[in-house]
């Protein structure tokens, strides 16, 4: 079961997904397959991938048939080659047929996020930077998608708006500027894990540094400008280390350049909002 959601929360999510898909009942399966029929289903990777969500996949069938038995051949975080079988499920044939789409959709989605995250992590190996996700997640799936990011080797940024202060362009504009926003945000020191502000140029950076935020987000800057900004942050005397984060326009082709520019964090919305689902099949045979 996902370490981010407890068992009860996972079950509630899965039940809602099943209810959406089943509707008034799986009339195809109910009219063509006997209640007595047992079957065996094998998950098959159709391309190279990083596995994420295999226990959730299995839990879908447990909810439909308490007698379900699952053999886990692979576990989350493992890299699978095409043709690899990560799990074998034995259950009632009706449960396998009715739960197949929900189970596969989840596994394909989460493995897709983990696979893309692993590519970004590999691209910056040897540097001190870390790949972070964002809040650009699928509504209702945030905890699971952020779990998949961790499986892929990335790190989670804010889980929600209540975890930390992140002052962005619109906040700055509406509050009256960088300094005004950071001064106002100090009242959240007791409940925010960190205070972070977005800057887009060196003038905004210098204004932010006078208030010693915990993190400075360098937004949509060129790598040369990021390098200059990092140097200024490192020279700035502060009671605690001020972390730097790069974001905006970052791809697999240029992410290493940003990492080598010296930032601590690189946030990549694409790992959740643009990760393609991996190709998996579920092959079912009667027992």
Judge contact between 118 and 153, C-beta under 8 A: yes
Residues annotated as part of the active site: 101, 136, 168, 198, 219
Question: Among all chains, which residue has been given the structure tokens 């195809």?
Answer: 28
Q: Treating both helix axes as pointing N-terminal to C-terminal, what angle do 223-235 and 202-209 enclose, rounded to 10 degrees?
A: 20
Q: Which residues contact 140 (CB under 8 A, 6 or more apart)?
A: 13
The CA-atom distances, in angstroms, between 153 and each of 11, 44, 51, 116 are 26, 23, 12, 10
Q: Which residues contact 75 (CB under 8 A, 6 or more apart)?
A: 51, 54
Maximum CA extent, the chain: 73
Judge contact between 198 and 166, C-beta under 8 A: yes
């Amino acid at each position: 079961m996902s370490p981010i959601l407890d068992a009860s929360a996972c079950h509630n999510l899965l039940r809602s997904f099943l209810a959406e898909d089943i509707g008034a009942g799986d009339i195809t399966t109910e009219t063509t397959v006997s209640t007595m029929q047992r079957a065996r289903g094998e998950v098959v990777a159709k391309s190279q991938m990083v596995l994420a969500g295999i226990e959730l996949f299995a839990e879908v069938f447990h909810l439909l048939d308490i007698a379900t038995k699952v053999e886990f051949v692979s576990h989350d975080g493992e890299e699978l080659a095409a043709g690899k079988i990560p799990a074998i499920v034995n259950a009632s044939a009706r449960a396998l047929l009715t739960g197949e789409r929900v189970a596969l959709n989840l596994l394909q989605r989460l493995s897709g996020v983990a696979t893309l995250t692993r590519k970004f992590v590999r691209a910056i190996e040897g540097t001190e930077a870390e790949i972070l996700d964002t809040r650009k997640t699928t509504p209702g799936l945030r905890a699971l998608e952020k779990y998949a990011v961790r499986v892929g080797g990335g790190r989670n940024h804010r889980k929600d708006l209540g975890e930390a202060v992140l002052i962005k362009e619109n906040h700055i504009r509406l509050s009256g500027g960088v300094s005004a926003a950071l001064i106002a945000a100090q009242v959240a020191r007791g409940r925010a894990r960190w205070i972070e502000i977005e800057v887009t140029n060196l003038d905004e950076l210098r204004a932010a540094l006078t208030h010693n935020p915990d993190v400075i987000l360098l937004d949509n800057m060129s790598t040369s400008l990021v390098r200059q900004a990092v140097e200024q942050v490192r020279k700035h005397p502060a009671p605690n280390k001020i972390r730097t984060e790069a974001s905006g326009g970052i791809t697999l082709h240029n992410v290493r350049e940003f990492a080598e520019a010296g930032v601590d964090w690189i946030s990549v919305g694409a790992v959740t909002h643009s990760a393609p689902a991996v190709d998996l099949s579920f092959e079912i045979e009667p027992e």
